[in-house]
Amino acid sequence: MWFWPNSIKVRTALILSVLVTILWLGAAGITARILSNEMGNVFDAALQETGQRILQLAVIEVLGRDEDGNSQLVTALDSGPEFFTYMVRDDLGQVLLSSQNAVATQFPQGLPMGFSTLAQARLYQEAAVSGSIILTIAEPLAHRRTVAGEVALALSLPLLLVIPLSIVGISYGLGFGLGPLGQLQGQLAQREIGDLASLQTDDLPRELQPIAMTANQLFARLKTAFDAERSFASNAAHELRTPLAGAVAQVQRLRQLTQEPETMRRADQIEVTLKRLTRLSERLIQLARAEGAQLIAASPSDMRIILRWVAEDFSRGSDMGRLRMDLPDQAVLSTLDPDAVGIVARNLFENALRHGDGGQVRVHLGLDGWLGVENVGPAVADPAALAVRFMRMGGLGSGLGLAIVRTVADRAGIAMTLTSPLAGQTGGFCALIQLRADT
Amino acid sequence: MRILLIEDDKIIGSAVREQIDADGHSVDWVQRLDSASDALGGAAFDLILLDLMLPDGRGISFLKSLRATGSQVPVMILTALDQISDRIEGLNAGADDYLVKPFDLSELSARIGAVARRYSGNPNPIIGFQTLQIDLAARRVMRAGKAIALTAREWVLFEAFLQNPARLFAKTTLEERLYSFDVDVDSNTIEVHISHLRKKLGAAVILTERGLGYRLGQA
């Protein structure tokens, strides 16, 4: 249901408030009903008492008359409204005595002795002198209804204050009672996405302890898995690189020591092959890292420093001076794992240097976290396809560089676009990637 | 310079030692951290080349301990750990440079020179001295546009004076810079090299403080 609030606190407060309101109104209604019945009995007793008193007086007055058959109208002592009207008849129906506002039609003959109710009035009838003098006294029902209405109103008016106060009290009480839930929610909501530290469970009530402890166990397992993956990748990289490094160093020494052209040529070939093998093993390890490692760090890093370091690695040898770095003066912080940023930058730089026209590669980092790497060169018909694993442009490269970057982007949930040709040009290639994982 | 190489891989270590030696520096190679501690206790080094994964511990811990003692000796990490986080950890521990294996030996030589220049307080690789133009990075000395050829050991000796222009070098200190523990040095080796330097660069380039040692001449 679209209107159903998505909050335990608000839902509970709403349900409790509605229930309390219904209970209050129900209690008030039942009370009013009971009061109304009790008041009806009181009114009946008063009607009966009044009728009996009037009947006694009427008997004395009628029997004391000199002449029979005369009726008498009793005037009221004041001109105010009369709650009771009465009429005294003989056994033949002749009116002997009546109150000032009594109308004969309101006192039909043939009513049973005792109480009876007509449309407009409650009546009481009693006879005296062997049934020869009959008194009928009436009280308008409107009077009773008015009184019952006033009673109901008197009961309802306080509820206008009590019900809102109850709702406020319930909300406050729930807020206090659900405080630990809010603290747990705060602990989870405020932590960085890469933060796998345990939740504080000491102050949590026993209902929440299992949840927090289960979450902590999950965090611990995740951390162990990530650490194991990182350790494995790191060890694998180390074990692969060390013998390759030894071979490269030895072949370079051989190249320096020999003056024999054929030996020099072969040494060069071995060195090229070893470096190609190094790059390929590096790519495969990077791919494993991109697919399995934790890509969000617990604390943010300045992207500029990482980009400078990676660029520095390319600043020697044949690529010296080809990277034109355009970095902002202010820090560009991101929680993207520094190693993942290093992998992304290394692959983007190498891709642009390798597949460009041999000229400069422009590297631009914006304060908004967007990293752009542009190279001049031939246009690529389907640039997005280059991010597919083992898709090589012109058969060059490992076919893994941009696929690794795409894997990092997808797993970290960051945007990445590949475009070719460059805007307003007929050639060139541009890779754009958002390095801020929290955007 | 006298360099301490801490590297457990014999294939890499031997190649690196040969390269440094060919550059004219003196190098002591150890394969364990405890041996490195012993070496540091016995001599003053101008640079340490440190591998991170060693049989008896982590190079990072060794570096932190070294810095904790107040040692300012430049340290360059040579490692196969290639991640940015490894580099951050290394530099935070007090390393001056970080070179990832596999590396070109020529790059290693260039970086050794750069670290040495940084610690001598003169990061500019090209300096002028008397009538000489000296490119510290390229290890080249020119006079009036004409290159003067120096051997590797002559260069290292001359570079030591250039990096410490006011310092009086004892003969034994210069010997330590040129040769490691395991090389026998003839008693007149330093005199021979100084003599060659004076012939090539000029008699006033290096002054003799009789009975004390040598210092760089007036600029």
Average pLDDT over residues B166-186: 74
Q: Which of A248, A286, A308, A319 to mutate to test the interface with B (most CBs of B within 10 A)?
A: A248
| Spatial strand order in the sheet of B2-6 | B26-30, B2-6, B47-50, B75-79, B97-100
Residue of chain B whose alpha carbon sits nearest to that of A275: B102
Bigger pLDDT: B218 or A138? A138
Q: Which residues of A touch B19 (CB under 8 A)?
A: 249, 252-253
Kindly state whether B84 is in contact with chain A, defined as any CB-CB distance less than 8 angstroms.
Answer: yes
Kindly state whether A282 is in contact with chain B, defined as any CB-CB distance less than 8 angstroms.
Answer: yes
What is the spatial distance between Cα A161 and Cα A252, in angstroms, rounded to a whole number? 92
Kindly state whether A246 is in contact with chain B, defined as any CB-CB distance less than 8 angstroms.
Answer: yes
Kindly state whether A245 is in contact with chain B, defined as any CB-CB distance less than 8 angstroms.
Answer: yes
Residue of chain B whose alpha carbon sits nearest to that of A345: B84
Q: Which of A339, A343, A435 to mutate to test the interface with B (most CBs of B within 10 A)?
A: A339
A219-232: pLDDT as tens digits = 899 888 888 877 77
pLDDT of residue B35: 95
A147-167: pLDDT as tens digits = 888 888 888 888 888 888 888
**pLDDT for residue A244 is more than 90:** yes
Instruction: Give A304's pLDDT tier (boundaries 50, 70, 90).
Output: very high
Average pLDDT over residues A17-41: 88
**pLDDT for residue A7 is more than 90:** no
Q: Which residues of B touch A226 (CB under 8 A)?
A: none
User: Which of these ranges, A195-209, A283-297, A371-385, B170-184, has the smallest mean pLDDT?
Assistant: B170-184
pLDDT of residue B127: 81
pLDDT of residue B95: 92
pLDDT of residue A156: 82
Kindly state whether B104 is in contact with chain A, defined as any CB-CB distance less than 8 angstroms.
Answer: yes
Residue A293 near residue A232 (C-beta atoms within 8 A): no
Kindly state whether A319 is in contact with chain B, defined as any CB-CB distance less than 8 angstroms.
Answer: no
CB contact under 8 A, A245 and B83: no
Q: Which of B7, B12, B51, B108 to mutate to test the interface with A (most CBs of A within 10 A)?
A: B12
Cis peptide leading into residue B102 (ω within 30°): yes
What is the spatial distance between Cα A335 and Cα A352, in angstroms, rounded to a whole number? 25
pLDDT of residue A68: 57
pLDDT of residue A51: 92
Q: Which residues of A touch B104 (CB under 8 A)?
A: 248, 252, 316-317
Average pLDDT, chain B: 87
CB contact under 8 A, B104 and A245: no
Q: In A317-420, which residue ranges form alpha helices assigned H by DSSP?
A: 338-355, 401-412
Strand, coil or helix: A427: coil
pLDDT of residue A392: 66
What is the spatial distance between Cα B193 and Cα B214, in angstroms, rounded to a whole number? 12
Q: Is the dihedral of CA A424, A429, A435, A436 positive or negative?
A: positive
Instruction: Return the axis-axis angle of helices A8-63 and A141-177, rounded to nearest 10°.
Output: 160
Average pLDDT over residues B147-152: 88
Kindly state whether B80 is in contact with chain A, defined as any CB-CB distance less than 8 angstroms.
Answer: yes
CA angle B192, B195, B196 (to 5 degrees): 90
What is the spatial distance between Cα A326 and Cα A366, in angstroms, rounded to a whole number? 9
A49-103: pLDDT as tens digits = 999 999 998 888 888 876 655 566 666 555 566 778 899 988 888 888 888 878 8
Contacts 24+ apart (CB under 8 A), A222-229: A222/A196, A222/A294, A223/A196, A226/A196, A226/A293, A226/A294, A229/A289, A229/A292, A229/A293, A229/A294
Kindly state whether B53 is in contact with chain A, defined as any CB-CB distance less than 8 angstroms.
Answer: yes
User: Which of these ranges, A22-26, A32-36, A232-236, A429-433, has the smallest mean pLDDT?
Assistant: A232-236
Strand, coil or helix: A122: strand
pLDDT of residue B128: 84
Residue of chain B whose alpha carbon sits nearest to that of A240: B80
DSSP string of A166-214, one letter each residue: HHHHHHHHHHHHTHHHHHHHHHHHHS-TT--PPPP-TTS-TTTHHHHHH
Residue B72 near residue B118 (C-beta atoms within 8 A): no
Q: Which residues of B touch A338 (CB under 8 A)?
A: 83-85, 88
DSSP structural state of residue A350? H
Bigger pLDDT: B211 or B197? B197
CA–CA min distance A351, chain B (Å) = 19
Average pLDDT, chain A: 85
**pLDDT for residue A422 is more than 60:** yes
> Bridge partners of A16?
none
pLDDT of residue B34: 94
Q: Which of A98, A90, A97 is nearest to A133 (CA)?
A: A90
CA–CA min distance B94, chain A (Å) = 17
pLDDT of residue B59: 94
Residue A408 burial class via C-beta count within 10 angstroms: exposed 0-12, middle 13-18, buried 19 and up: buried
**pLDDT for residue A338 is more than 70:** yes
Instruction: Give B4's pLDDT tier (boundaries 50, 70, 90).
Output: very high
Q: Which of A284, A313, A341, A350 to mutate to test the interface with B (most CBs of B within 10 A)?
A: A313
AA letter at A416: M
CB contact under 8 A, B100 and A313: yes
**pLDDT for residue B7 is more than 90:** yes
Instruction: Return the axis-axis angle of helices A401-412 and A338-355, rounded to nearest 10°.
Output: 150
Helix or strand holding residue A299 (H, E) = strand A296-302
What is the spatial distance between Cα B68 and Cα B151, in angstroms, rounded to a whole number? 38
Residue with token string 């080249």:
B140
